[in-house]
Amino acid sequence: MRHLVLGSSSPFRSAILEKLTLPFDTCSPDIDETPLTDETPQELVKRLALKKAEAVALAHPTSLIISSDQVSVLNGKINGKPGNRENAILQLSESSGNTVTFYTSLCLYDAQEKTYQLIVEPYFVHFRHLSSQTIENYIDKESPLNCAGSFKSEGLGIALFNRLEGDDPNTLIGLPLIRLIEMLNKKHIDIP
């Protein structure tokens, strides 16, 4: 079987990939993630996933590289990782009663052949109406300051939603596993 490398330093993506019980290594890509002028959220995550894969391929020239990127979008505006409590409160306040769309890209890059498969998977998070007390309590309990959208759906963040909508719950956490299995199958890696 081909050597697999996850091009990410995210413990969440690593935990998702471990579900497939395939051996893999991780390698953190070092790329500029600044959006380009007039780039849509979907174009941004596709470009960044490919750039991450290409960066990791330099160190792993015969491997299959798995990379991903994700943005949270509300009312056409990209929400990044909040970074601090005040920004997290603002993001969740804006999300309250609204639907936030997450665009998660996935790239399977064959470093040996220099070919790739690349998709963007949407996921929709329907927030319930949140009081300022609920928002502050949530942030204090889970501290989601390094998470796009200011929540962890795999944790207490689930209490913030009315409904989740998408093909694969792993997509929201950062790695579309159903699509990855399809891509690996095309490379003759059968799971299970």
The residues assigned a catalytic role are 69
Q: Cis link prior to 192 (omega < 30° from 0)?
A: yes
Rounded to an integer, what distance in angstroms lies between the CA atom of residue 122 and that of residue 171?
8
Give the CA distances from residue 44 to residues 36, 37, 66, in Å, rounded to whole numbers and listed in that order. 8, 10, 17
Kindly report the number of other CB atoms within 10 A of residue 165's CB atom.
12
Give the CA distances from residue 152 to residues 12, 81, 141, in Å, rounded to whole numbers and listed in that order. 10, 12, 11
Read off the amino acid at residue 38: D
